[in-house]
Chains A and B, each alone.
Chain A
């Protein structure tokens, strides 16, 4: 999760001049990584969900990541974990 947050922050630092202020609630046009208070439990103890405005990000304890649209649940991005297994495998 920390790696994902670092990567997203670095990408935004590179691509936008909007200051990094994750404490701002209202949109400032910048992309922010999932915040800790947006964490939800899932049906599996090794997978947590981070909700954001339009997406749900699922992170498994093996490091696997899956990003779905919050409405419709279409998968937009997935990356296997260190053991090669995806979030729900």
Chain B
């Protein structure tokens, strides 16, 4: 079963009152579209094989825009979409935020984060003030806060996502 079909199954089970519309491309490698409507709230999912799910709520009706959020993991995408539809929350494009501010927005204390990361609270405090850290450490912090890290390299004529970096042991 394809990831988009798994996602649809998850959502249909969790949102029995929602309406679903799926657009399947003729070429399997092209994007799929899944529109979910629950009351006044709409979430549109663009799924690209091997690239993940692009998620947008009805926050913007502008023509030809890309998705607000991109999530690779199917379960994480499902949880995000269910949350958006049930709470009426809007998706938003990524904004600039410092790690400390991000942690505070998630209502997680330094002590709690330290426990998850198996380090001391002072180490977390020091880490939040640092201007540099390993990608694997950053990936763990983001995961501990409930998200996933995505690395994108932009060039004048294209952009690529860099895979499998920082997924090993902390260095």
B67 within 8 A of A: yes
Q: Is the CB of A54 within 8 A of B66?
A: no
Total interface residues on A, using CB and 8 Å? 28
With contact pairs A27-B66, A31-B65, A71-B21 given, residues A38 and B31 touching in the complex (Cβ less than 8 Å) = yes
Q: From known contacts A53-B56, A71-B37, infer whether A33 and B67 are also in contact, taking CB-CB under 8 Å.
A: no
Q: How large is the interface on B (under 10, 10 to 19, 20 to 34, 35 or more residues)?
A: 35 or more
Q: How long is the Cα–Cα vector from A36 to B154 in the complex, in angstroms?
A: 22
Contact B31 A37 (CB under 8 A): yes
The secondary-structure label for the interface of chain B is loop
B118 at the interface (CB under 8 A from A): no
**Does B134 reach chain A (CB closer than 8 Å)?**
no
A8 within 8 A of B: yes
Tell me which of A24, A27, A31, A70 contacts B159 (CB under 8 A). A24
Q: What 1/0 flags go to A5-31 for Cβ under 8 Å of B?
A: 000100000000000010111111111
Q: Is A51 engaged at the interface, CB distance under 8 Å to the other chain? A: yes
* B154 partner residues in chain A, CB cutoff 8 A: 21, 24
Tell me if B51 counts as interface (CB < 8 A to partner A).
yes
Interface of A: prevailing SS: loop
Known: A37-B31, A71-B42. A54 touches B67 (CB 8 A): no
What residues on A are CB-neighbors of B159 within 8 Å? 21, 23-25
- The residues of A that contact B23 with a CB separation of less than 8 Å are 40, 51
In the bound assembly, the distance between CA atoms of A29 and B94 in angstroms comes to 11
Residue A46 is within 8 A (CB to CB) of chain B in the complex:
no
CB atoms of A33 and B64 under 8 A apart: yes
Contact of B63 among A24, A27, A28, A55 (CB under 8 A): A55
B contacts, CB < 8 Å to A: 21, 23, 25-27, 29-31, 33, 35, 37, 42, 44, 46, 48, 51, 54, 56, 58, 60-70, 93-94, 154, 157-159
